[in-house]
Structure 1
Amino acid sequence: MKKYIIALFMGFSALLQAQNTVLGTVTDGTNQPIIGASVYIPELHKGTTTDADGKYAFKNLPNGSFRIAFSYVGFKTINQWIEKLTKNTVVNIQMENAILEIDEVIVSTPFNKMQSQNVMKVEHESIESLQQKGTSTLIEGLATIPGVSQISTGTSIGKPVIRGLSGNRVLVYSQGVRIENQQFGAEHGLGLNDAGVESVEVIKGPASLLYGSDAMGGVLYFNPEKFANAHTFKANFNQKYFSNTLGSNASVGLKTSTDNWKFLARGTHNTHSDYKTGQGDRVTNSRYNETDFKTGIGYNNSKFSTVVRYNFNKLDLGIPEEGLAEQTYSKDPESPRQEVYNHLLSLNNVIYFGNSKLDVDLGYISNNRMEYEEGNEASLDMLLNTYNYNAKYHLPKTGRFETVLGIQGMHQTNKNRGEEYLIPDATTNDFGVFGTVNYEWGTSVLQAGLRFDNRNLNSLAHEAGEEEHHDEETEEEHEHDHEHHGGDFDALNRSFNSVNVSLGYKTNISKELVLRMNVASGFRAPNLAELTSNGVHHGTNRYEIGNANLKTEQNLQTDINLEYGNTHFEFFVNGFYNHINNYIYTSPTGEIMDDTDVFEYVQDNAKLYGGEVGLHLHPHPLDWLHYETSFETVTGKKSRSVGSDFLPLIPANNWNNTIRTEFKIKNWFEEGFASLNVNTTFNQDKVSGFETSSNGYTLVNLGFGGKVKWGKTEFNVNLNGNNLFDKKYIAHFSRLKTDGIPNIGRNIVLGMNFNL
C-alpha cells in the first residue's frame, strides 16, 4: 500500500505547479468590515484572521477546489466552496447575524460540509465548551452530550457509551487515525487527554460505511488542535486545580507557522489523589497520574499538503478493590494498578489533481498495557501494535454530484509478555473498499453508499504453565476444570465478511425547519476476547469463557432528526430504532471457577430504540440569557424475548437543564458567563438478569468564567462547583457499584489559561 501511495505522490507532484492566491473582505449586514473574523481552510490546516479593514489573504495555494470556513462570534458560519482556484481569486463575504449556535464544518463525514448542509446528524462540541463544565476527564465532558454516557471506574477510567452501545461497538478516531487500545475491556480507558484537542464530533448510529468494523454503534472523532495562523507565534499555559482529589492538571503549549511550514507542541501532566464520596470518605487506590505529549509539523505548497502528528500518553492508575479503607492523600497508585503506554503516530497527505484530490491517512498505534497485582513485576503485559491506512479519492464534481471512493485497512498484532494471559497472541487483518455519492439540489441532499469488508483473525495456541495453577488445587479438582483453566487457548483462524449500505435524506421543510432521515447498516466482527477468553478478567471480576463459533454482529438502524430554529429559539428531536442480529453479550453459567463466577459469551438478536429531545431558548430582549434543556432515553431488549428480558449496560433516562448568562464588566472582564446546571438521572429498573437496578439522583453544578484583562496581560478563568450539594449517589454504569462505593462528591474546579 505504501509503495502505491509514494508512486502516486511522486508521479503527480511534478505536474502540480501553481501559485494561487485567495483574498477578499469580510463584512457584516451593513457592509462594515468585521475585524478578527476567523478564515480557515480545513484540509490545508491554514488559517488567518481579518485585519482592521476586514481583509484576509491566502498565498501559495494548490490547484483544485476548496471549502473555506468564515466564522465570528455572533454571526452565522459560512462554508464557501471555491472551485478552480486562479492566481488571484477574490472571495468577498457578507456575514449574517446569528444569536444562537454557530454552524460548524464537520470533518468526520466524507464531504466535509457544515452541519446545516449535512445528511447525518453529527453532534459537534469544542473541548473548550466541555472544559467550562468543570469535568476532570475527557470522557466526563463527552458524557454531557445528549445520547452519550460513560462506564466509569472511579475518576480515572471512562468508557464511552452511545445510545446503549459501548466497548468495541464504538470507534474512536484521533489525528485521523483509528484508536486501538484493547478497548474490549470495561476497565480500559480511551488513552486520550483533552489537552491539544480542538473539538469532538459524535456520530450516533452505524458508521460502518465510512469506518468499517466496530463503528456499528457510533464514532467519536477528535479533531486535533489547529496550527497557528501564518507568521504568528503563540504560547500558552493552562493550570487546573480540583478540590475533591487534590488534583492538578498543567499544560504548556507553543505553536508557530510560516506560509508553508507549521509546528506545534504541547506537554501535559495530570495527577490526582483518591476521590472523596458524598459522605466524606476517600475511595482507596482510586488515585492516578497521567503524562501526555503532543506535537505536529505540517508543510504545504502549491503541489500538496502534508501533516505529521505524534501523541504519547502514559497512565499510571490504581484499581480500587478495598473500598473505603486507608484514608490518604497519596498520589502514588498501589497494587493492584495499571500502567498504560500509548504511542500514536499519524501522517496525512492531500494530493491535488486539478478538480480532484487524493486524501491519504497512515497511522501507527502502539499500546502497552501492564497490570500489577503485587510487587514491581507485571503479571499481565500485553503489547498491541496496529498499522492503519485510509485512502479516499474525491472525484471531480459533476453537476450536483459529489463522489468519494476509498479503501481502508488495518494490520494488528497482539503479544503477551507476562505470566498471565487474558487473550492469546494473535494477528488481525482488515480490508475494506467503499463508495459514497452526494446529490444536492436547493436545500435538499440525498446521500448513498456501499461498502465491502473482510477481517481475518489468526491466534496462536497457548497452554498455561504449572506455575499458574493454585497450589491448594487437588489433582481431582485440576482434572475437573482443566478444559477451561485460565491461560489455555486453542489456535484459531477465522474470516469475516460483510456488505453494508447507507441512505440518507435531508431537506429544509421551511426556512426554520430541517428534516433528516437516515437508514444504515453496520457490522462488528467478534473481537479476540469474545472468541478466545479463558480466565479471570480481574477488571470485571468474572471468569470469562469465549466462544470460537461466534458470528458477525449485523445491524440496521433507522434515524430521524427534526430541527427548528429561529433567532431566539431552537428545538430538536431525534428518534432511532436499531435492530442487531447476533448481538454478543456475556451470560452467567451458574458455575464458579478460581473462586469467581463464570460468564460465557453468547449471542441473540437484539433491538434498541429511543432518542433525544431538547430546546435552546434565548428570549428577546434578554440577550444575556440562555436556557437549554434536553432529555434522552434508550431501551435495549433481546428481540426474541417476550416481556422484560433487557440487554445489559443500557443507560438510565436523563434530563439535563442549564441556565446560562453572558455579561461583561467594564473593560477588565470580557466574554463572561455564569451557569446553573441541574442534571437528573432517573431510576434504572430495566436491567438484564445479572444486573441490579439503580436509584436515580439529581446533581447541581455551578459555573463561572471569562477573560480577565489586566494592563497588557490577558488570561481566561473558569470556576466550577460540581455536585454542589455533595450528593451521595451510585451511577448505574459505575464498575464500583457492586461494592456499594458511591461516585465522586463535591468538586470545586479552578482553571486558568494564560496566553504568553
Structure 2
Amino acid sequence: MKKLIVALVVSCTALIQAQNTVSGRITDTNNKALSGVSIYIQELQKGTTSQADGTYNLSNLPKGTVRISFALVGFGTQYKTVSEIQKQNTINIQLAPSVFEMDEVIVSTAFNKLQSQNVMKVAHETMKNLSRKGTSTLIEGLATIPGVSQVSTGASIGKPVIRGLSGNRVLVYSQGVRVENQQFGDEHGLGLNDAGVESVEVIKGPASLLYGSDALGGVLYFNPEKFANANTYKVNFSQKLFANTLGSNSSLGLKTTSDNWKFLARGTMNTHSDYTTADGERVTNTRYQEKDFKTGIGYSDASFSSVLRYNFNDLTLGIPEEGIAEQSQSKSVLYPKQAVSNHLVSLNSSLFFNSSKLDLDLGFISNDRSEFEDSEVAVLKMKLNTFNYNAKYYLPSSTKMQTILGVQGMHQTNENSGEEYLIPDAVTQDFGVFGTTNYEWNSNVIQAGLRFDTRNLTSEANGILGEEGSFEALKKSYTSWNASLGYKTNLNDAFIFRFNLASGFRAPNLAELSSNGVHEGTNRYEVGNANLKTEQNFQTDLNLEYKTDHLEFFVNGFYNHINDFIYINPSGESIDDNEVFNYVQNNAALFGGEIGLHFHPHPLDWLHLETSFETVTGKKQNGDYLPLIPANNWNNTLRTEWKDTDWLKEGFATISLVSTFNQNKISGFETRTAGYSILNLGIGGTLHLGKTKMEVNLNGNNITDKKYTAHLSRLKTDGISNMGRNWVVGLNFNL
C-alpha cells in the first residue's frame, strides 16, 4: 500500500511538472513594461493579463500548435503561433502604439487569423462598441455596421439584411453552432440577446464553403462572452434605461476559472413599453418583455479542451395591428401577440495531437413559437427542433501551408399543434463535406476550397387539398457543389489588397414550397411552388485598405449574380378580396459596396473623424428591381477622446449624422421612401471610484426628434413612422 501511495504521488508530481507553459514579458517600443495586456488563446477560450512589470504566464497548454493573441487598447495587436510547444516556452512581446482599433482574431473564417492577415474581409464589432451607440436592440446595433441593415416591425422585431439579402439567405451562428428559429417569417426576429455576447463578426457574401445552405447572402457570427482569466473570480452587473420606450435592461453575471476548469452564468431581464414617434404618439402594442439566461462550463488539459454552453431566451412581444390606437405606458403585452422561447445547447471540443487538431461542434436548438389572437389559446403553435454537427480536422501544417478537411450536417423537425398551419410538419436532413487550404509566402496569401452538399426534405400533407391552409405532401432532394478562391497581398507597408471569388446556394424553404393562405402581416394570399429549384450564386469581392499612423481608408466592392432567385410576385387574381401572390424564380444580380475613412490628425491625438458610405442595387434579369433593398446610407462621426484622469479613464464623446437617401429603386408592389438625416450624441468613459470601476455612457438617438420612415420598416404601409428621440443611460461594473 505504501508503495502504491508513493507511486501515485510520483505520478501526480510528474503530471504537474509535465504541464506546458508559455511565459514572458510584454513591453512597448521604449522597452517600458505594459500591464493589462490581454493574452488570449481562442481555441482554448483561455486567457490572462500581464502584470505591472509586464510579465505573464499561461499554464496547462496542449501539445502541438497554439496561437496566442496579445492586445491592448492604444497598441497594435500581435498574433504568435507556437509550434510543437515545449514544457517551458518563453515569448517576449514588444507592442507598437496604434491609434486605431485593435486588430482582432477572426473566428468565423476557417483559419482564425488576425483581420490584417485574413484573406476575406470580415466586419468585426464588440458589443461594448455597439452599446455605446445607444441602440435598444441587438439588431439595431448590427444595422450600424456598413453593409448591414434590418427589416423591422416596430422596436421588437428586426431581421438582419446583408447587402440586400435577408431571411433564409443570412445564416446566424451563436456559441459556435447554427441558430434555427423559423427565420423565413416576416415577423420572426433574431431570437438572441446581446447580454453574454462578446462580439459579432459579419461575413458579407456567400459563405457556403464553411456553412452550407442558407449562407448564400452572408453570416452573422456571435462570439460568446469570454470566461474569466485563470484563477480569478468576477461578478458583473449592467443596467440600461431607455427614455422613449420607458425600457429597462438589467443583467447580472458571474464567472470563475481555475487552471483546468471554468464556469460562467448570466441572467438578463429586458422590458419595454410601446415606442413613441416624433409626433409624440405611442405605437400600440410594440411593447415586449424578454428573459435571457446563459451559462457555460469548460475543461482543458494538455490534449483536450471542451466547452458546454446553454442559452435560454424567452420573448413575449406584441403584434402592432391597430397602429396608433390606445395610448398607454403599460408593459403588459396585448393581443395579438407572440410568445417565443429558444433553448440552445452547444458543445465545442478540440482534440490536440502532436502536429494536428480535431474540432467538433455539436448543437441542439429547440424553438417554440406561439401566436395568440384574442385569448391564451395559441392559434398558431410551431415547434422546431434542430440538431447540427460540424467536425474539422486540421492536417499537420508547415509555416506556409494549412489545410482543413471537414464534415457538417443537420437534422431538423418541424411540428404544428395549433389550429392554424403556417408551414407543414416536416423533416429536413443536411449533409456536407468540404476541404480548404491556406498558403502563404512573403506578404501573399492564397486560400481555396471546395464543398459538396445535399439536403433532403420530407413534409406531411394537411387539410383538404384546394382549400386554404392545406398542404400537399412533399419529398424533395437538393444537391450543390460550391467553391471559393481568395487572394490577399500587402502592396506595401500601408496597403492591403484582397480579391475573393465564391459561390453559394440556398435550398427553398418550406414557406416558399408550400404556402397556401393569407399572410396576416401583409394581407395577401400567398401560394407556394413545389417545383422551385435551388438558388445558386457567384460573387466577386474586392477590398483595398490603406492604413498609416493617422489615416485609415477602405473600399469594398462586390457583384453578386444569383441564378433562380426566389421572390414573391402578384398574380393579378384575388381570393376573398386578398390579392394572390405566387412564389416564382428569375435570375438576379446585386451589386454595390462600402467605402470608409478614419482620420486621426497629428498632433490632435484626442480627435477622430470617421465617415462611411454604403450602397446596394438589386435587379431581376428583366431589369425590374428586387424588393427589400436598403437605401444608400452615409454615416459621419466626430469622436473625441481625452487622456486618463484620476477618476475617469477611456473618456469619449461622439456626435454623428446618419443620412439615408431616397429609395426610388423599388419593386412593383413597394412604395418609394423619402430620405432623412438623424443626429446622435454620446458621452461616457470608465469612472474610478476608489477600488470600483464603473463604465458609464449617455446616448441621445435622433435628438432633433426627426419624423422619418425607414424603407425596410413593415409599419411603413400603415403610415407609421420610426422611433422619435431616445435617451439611453448605461452602467456596467464589477461587484
The two structures share one fold, judged by TM-score above 0.5: yes
541, 548, 563: which is aligned to 1:581? 563
Task: State yes or no: 1:661 paired with 2:643.
Answer: no
- Aligned amino acid, residue 309 of structure 2: R
Corresponding residue for residue 248 of structure 1:
248
1:218-617 equivalent positions in 2, closer than 5 A: 218-463=218-463, 483=466, 485-617=467-599
- Cα distance, 1:289–1:542 mapped onto 2, change above 3 Å: same
Q: Alpha-carbon deviation of 1:588?
A: 1.2
Instruction: Please list every run of at least 4 consecutive aligned residues from structure 1 whose deviation after the TM superposition is greater than 6 angstroms.
Output: none
Cα contact 2:73–2:101 (8 A) shared by 1: no
Q: Which residue number corresponds to residue 711 of structure 1?
A: 690
Aligned 8 A contact 2:644 2:650 in 1: no
CA distance in 1, matches of 2:422, 2:239: 38
Specify the code of the residue in structure 2 equivalent to 1:589: S
Q: Could you say which residue in structure 2 is the equivalent of 1:8?
A: none
CA distances 1:4-36 after superposition (whole Å, capped 9, x unpaired): xxxxxxxxxxx9x95211111111101111111
Q: CA deviation at 1:590?
A: 2.3
Gaps of 5+ in 1: 1-14, 465-481
> Please, which moves more after superposition, 304-313 or 29-38?
29-38
Give the distance between the partners of 1:513 and 1:520, measured in 2 at CA: 23
Return the alpha-carbon distance in structure 1 between the equivalents of residues 273 and 399 of structure 2.
60
Give me the whole-angstrom Cα distance separating, in 1, the residues matched to 2:297 and 2:468.
46
For residue 712 of structure 1, report the CA deviation from its aligned partner.
Answer: 2.4
Indicate if the aligned counterparts of 2:303 and 2:353 stay in contact, CA closer than 8 A: no
Distance 1:309 1:646 in 2: 43
Equivalent in the alignment of 1:649: 628
Structure 2: distance between partners of 1:692 and 1:125: 33
* Structure 2 match to 1:80: 80
Shift in CA distance, 692/617, structure 1 to aligned 2, threshold 3 Å: same
Match of 1:633 among 600, 615, 624: 615
Counterpart Cα distance in 1 of 2:524 and 2:730: 40
- Choose from 676, 691, 707 the match for 2:670: 691
2:651 aligns with: 672
What is aligned with 1:733?
712
CA distance, structure 2, for counterparts of residue 604 and residue 293 of structure 1? 43
How far 1:594 moved relative to its partner?
4.2
Q: What is the alpha-carbon distance in structure 1 between the residues aligned to residue 578 and residue 696 of structure 2?
A: 49
Q: Secondary structure at the match of 1:234?
A: strand
Can you list the C-alpha shifts for 1:459-478, whole angstroms capped at 9, x where unaligned? 001115xxxxxxxxxxxxxx
Question: C-alpha displacement at 1:665, in angstroms?
Answer: 6.5
The answer on 1:67 being equivalent to 2:61 is no
Deviation, 1:668, is 1.1
Question: C-alpha distance in 1, partners of 2:95/2:302?
Answer: 29
Equivalent residue for 1:10?
none
RMSD after superposition: 1.2
Post-superposition CA distance 1:110-155 (Å, at most 9, x none): 1000000000000000000000000000000000000000000000
Aligned-pair distance for 1:545? 0.7
> Cα deviations across residues 673-715 of structure 1 (Å, max 9, x unaligned)?
0000100000000000011110111000000101111222221
SS in 1 for 2:130: helix
Cα distance in 2, alignment partners of residues 488 and 157 from structure 1: 28
Q: Secondary structure at the match of 2:596?
A: strand
Rounded to whole Å, the distance in 2 between the matches of 1:205 and 1:652 is 19
CA distance in 1, matches of 2:193, 2:399: 43
**Aligned partner (choices 724, 728, 731) of residue 745 of structure 1:** 724
Distance 1:19 1:706 in 2: 40
Q: How many residues align?
A: 721
Contact 2:424 2:459 in 1 (8 A): yes
Task: Give the alignment's TM-score, normalised by structure 1.
Answer: 0.94
Write out per-residue CA displacement over residues 262-283 of structure 1, whole angstroms, 9 at most, x where no aligned residue.
0000000000000000100000
* Structure 1 position 398, deviation (Å): 3.3
- Residues 206-251 of structure 1: per-residue CA shift (max 9 Å, x gap): 0000000000100000000000001111111101000000000000
In the alignment, is the contact (CA less than 8 A) between 1:404 and 1:435 conserved in 2?
yes
| Local SS of the residue matching 2:309 | strand
For the Cα contact (< 8 Å) 1:533–1:544, is it kept in 2?
A: yes
Tell me how far 1:172 sits from its aligned partner: 0.3
What amino acid maps onto 2:78 in structure 1?
I
Note if contact 2:435-2:449 (Cα within 8 Å) is conserved in structure 1. yes
User: Which digits, 9 at most, give the CA deviation of each residue in 1:285-328, with x for residues without a partner?
Assistant: 00000000000000001120000000000010000011111100
On the 8 A contact 2:275/2:287 being kept in 1, the answer is yes
One-letter code aligned to 2:151: I
SS in structure 2 of the partner of residue 531 of structure 1: helix
- Say which is worse superposed, 431-440 or 539-548, in terms of deviation: 539-548
C-alpha distance 506-665 of structure 1, shift in aligned 2 (>3 A): closer
- What secondary structure is seen at the aligned counterpart in 1 of 2:358? strand
Letter in 2 for 1:405: L
Shift of 1:587: 0.6
